[in-house]
Amino acid sequence: LWESEAAMRDGLTLGASVADVVLPSFDEETLLFGDATPEATAERYRAGGARIVAVKNGAEDLTLWDDAGGLRRVPAEKVAEVVDTTAAGDSFAAGFLAGLAQGHGPDAAATEAMALAAGVIQERGALVRGLFDGDAI
């Protein structure tokens, strides 16, 4: 897909510069950009023009930035047992964007997204029964 890591970094940076919402994963940002903290990742994308940045960090708290609330942490949804992380990031993105589209603020959208992702990782595979009811998240 990319001719080099430098080309990948340039492509991601360019794409993020025209995005309103950026949902990076901290572990990937550390590998590609050398970010030392999720806050550094959020700041880099904020400086690049993003209006909302939600830095995912596995089971750790989410680092969230937007103009209205500044930089903050949103507590992670804790689960008893992780069965399969397939589609965890995609389900987070879907939940977050759905929350924003429904008029929820970034904090509420993040909480809803983490609840959806938490449900997904407690099941096997990417298609999880019972998680398609918007009232459940």
Same domain, 119 and 53: no
67 included as an active-site residue: no
Domain boundary among 59, 75, 91: 75
Which entry of 67, 90, 107, 133 is annotated as an active-site residue? 90
Same domain, 7 and 58: yes
Write down the pLDDT at residue 2: 86
pLDDT tens, N- to C-terminus, the chain (137 residues)? 789 999 999 999 999 999 999 999 999 999 999 999 999 999 999 999 999 999 999 999 999 999 999 999 999 989 999 999 989 999 999 999 999 999 999 999 999 999 999 999 999 887 776 655 555 54
Q: Which long-range contacts (CB under 8 A, 24 or more apart) does 73-81 make?
A: 74/107, 74/110, 74/111, 74/114, 76/114, 77/111, 77/114, 77/115, 77/117, 77/118, 78/118, 79/118, 79/121, 79/122, 80/122, 81/122
How many domains does the structure of the chain reveal?
2
Same domain, 98 and 111: yes
Model pTM score: 0.90
